[in-house]
Structures are given as structure tokens and as C-alpha cells.
Amino acid sequence: MGLKQRWAGWSGTRKTLIIVLLLVLFLCSACGLITLVGISRYQLTPPTVEPGIPPPPSTPVPPSTPVPPATPVPPSTPVPPSTPAPPPTPALPPDVDVSDLIEVHIIDVGQGDAILVRAPDATVLVDGGERNSGVVPYLQRLGVQKLDVVVATHPHADHIGGLIDVLQQIPVDRVITNGQLHTTLTYERFLDAIADARAEYIEVVRGDVIHAGNLVLDVLHPESLTDSLNDGSVVLRMTHGSVSFLLTGDIEKAAEEELTATDIDLRAQILKVAHHASRSSSTPAFLQRVQPEVAIYSAGADNRYGHPHDETLAALAVVGAQILGTDVHGTVVVTTDGETYQITVEHPSSP
């Protein structure tokens, strides 16, 4: 039976329901098509901008605030040991011949000894303090480019340690010692530094004379060596015109008694006090023979030995000496033309 014969046989109610159903299906299909077309146009078609009217600016998204990095804590910087600055040149009378001037610097190297002698034609260094004592920077600031003579009074580290630095950095012609051996690494390095510097090595005893330009340094001690390193110290007396200096190293009572038992001229206006002004030195009999006008000791501030000892300061006061110390006054410089002398200190405000 064909579709047409079936349609003719259906009742009116059935036909009406079928027609309504078909209309509903048609309307639903049409609405879905319209919706799809509208969505497609909205997605693909850019918005229309009227001529002459700028589009509204897009609202910028504020950038996120960066979190600052944590500030690193800087490592503590080690403070290098201070190197004493050369004291100002003393004012000298206008009629002084500068070519005759000699300077003796008792350098503040802490608990140790270092003495620089400068003449127009020669430079001598007696001891150098401990290693890294600041003696090399001090010499360099003075413009010292060469040392004619270096004297090591005895082989203790607070006298020869800094000489290793000197030999490694400044040309040296001659190195003079008392010849006493010592079984320390510092002493071994000191001998190595002499060899590496190709300096002439000389050992001296009482009666020898050290010449450097017009400088003349008489060796007063030792006559012979003993077990005491301090008492074996090289003692030097230098005279310029009528002004004399006595440089005593670290000699103690035994060496002082040995010297006072001789007829050696020990007089000196300027005394470098022995052994950092320890009570083991500067005996009354010795000081009476020297009769110093100025006594200068070298010691570190607040050192563990308690230098200078009160007994030594009292003994120096008895002979009427003006007392200066590197622990209080810093570097002390004595300048002389051979007739008079002037003293300059690094810390002039100190008592």
C-alpha cells in the first residue's frame, strides 16, 4: 500500500497530530540554525568602529609588584694592620746645610724593633719587627728604593721577621748579623731571603766598623756569643759631628755589665732603650755610662709583656732623660746636622 493510500485511510485527528508534529520539528530546526549562524557571526566578525571615533582603550592589567631580593649580609672585611705614616719633617734653622742632615727613625712596628738611618748618600735599616709589621710600606712611602745595609741585631722574630719582607721587596746590598744561629722557621726563611736577594752576608763582632756612604757605625757588642740571644745583640754607636746615637738591640743586664766593664765610649745623646724597656735591661750603671738626653723605646700598645716596665722608666728618669715610646708617641724621628738635633713624633699630642 502506498503512502498516499495510507494517508487517505487515516482519520482526521491522526492527520492533525502528524501535521502539528511536523510543524514543531520545522520550527525547532529553524531556531537552531538561526542560533548557530548568530554565534558564528559573533565569533568571526570584528566589532564595527564608527569613523572618527577611536575605540575605547583596553584597560591595562597592572603588573605584579616584584618581590625585592633579600639583601645579602656582606662578609666582614679584615682590618689590615695600620702602617705608621712618616712624621712631618721638623722645621730646621734656615742656615742648616741639608746635605749634612741625618735622620734616625724609630719606627712604630708594634712589639718589635725597626730603626731606619737615612743620610744623603746612604740608607741603613736596623731590624724590621715581626712579619707584616708595616716596615716595607713605611720605607716605600719615604721613597726608599734601596738599602745599603740591613743589620739584624739578633735572630728573634720580632727583629728579623719584617726583614724577610724587606729582602723580598727592596734591593739590599749587605746584610749584617752576629752570626748566631736559631732553630725557628722565621730564622730559616730569613736566611733564604738573604740568599734569594743575592745580598752580601757579613758577621760582625766588637771592634768592627760598618761603613755606608759617609755613615760610620761602630760595633760595640758582642765580643763573643753565649746561649742568650738577647745578650748577643749587635750594639751600634753612630756619631754624626757631635751628636751620637746608641742602638742596643735587646741586650740585658749581663751584656750591659760586660760593656760597662770596658773603657768603650758609651756616651750618646740619643739612646734606643734596650729590650723594649724591660726591667731586665737599663741597669743604673749602664745608664750612668751612657748619660742619654733622650731615651726612646719601642713597644706595642697594651703588649702582653707589660713593656715598658716602671723600673726602667724610673731608672731613665734618674739620669734626666726625656722618655719617648712608640706605644705612646708612634714613630719617632730624630734629625741632626751634627751640631744640634730635633725630634718629631707621629702623635705629638701624647704626653
Per the domain annotation, does 266 fall within a domain? yes
Structurally, how many domains does the chain consist of?
A: 1
Which comes out higher in pLDDT, residue 40 or 226? Answer: 226
Task: Say what the pTM is.
Answer: 0.75
Q: pLDDT for 248-280, tens place per residue?
A: 999 999 999 999 999 999 999 999 999 999 999
Which comes out higher in pLDDT, residue 42 or 4? Answer: 4
Per the domain annotation, does 174 fall within a domain? yes
In this predicted structure, the answer to whether residue 213 has a pLDDT above a threshold of 50 is yes
Per the domain annotation, does 260 fall within a domain? yes
Per the domain annotation, does 53 fall within a domain? no
- For the chain, give the percent of residues with pLDDT over 70: 72
Q: Which pLDDT value is given to residue 16? A: 72
Which comes out higher in pLDDT, residue 58 or 217? Answer: 217
Per the domain annotation, does 31 fall within a domain? no
Confidence of residue 75 (pLDDT cuts 50, 70, 90): very low
Q: Tell me which of 35-39, 68-72, 221-225, 334-338 is least confident.
A: 35-39
In this predicted structure, the answer to whether residue 90 has a pLDDT above a threshold of 90 is no
Per the domain annotation, does 236 fall within a domain? yes
- For the chain, give the percent of residues with pLDDT over 90: 70
In this predicted structure, the answer to whether residue 79 has a pLDDT above a threshold of 80 is no
Q: Tell me which of 87-91, 120-124, 159-163, 318-322 is least confident.
A: 87-91
Q: Which pLDDT value is given to residue 99? A: 74
Structural domain for 294, as ranges: 98-345
Q: Which pLDDT value is given to residue 44? A: 35
Contact 300, 81 (CB under 8 A): no
What CATH number is attached to the domain comprising 300?
3.60.15.10
The mean pLDDT value for 104-131 works out to: 98
* Average pLDDT score, the chain: 84
Confidence of residue 5 (pLDDT cuts 50, 70, 90): low
Per the domain annotation, does 80 fall within a domain? no
Q: Which pLDDT value is given to residue 98? A: 67
Q: Which pLDDT value is given to residue 19? A: 73
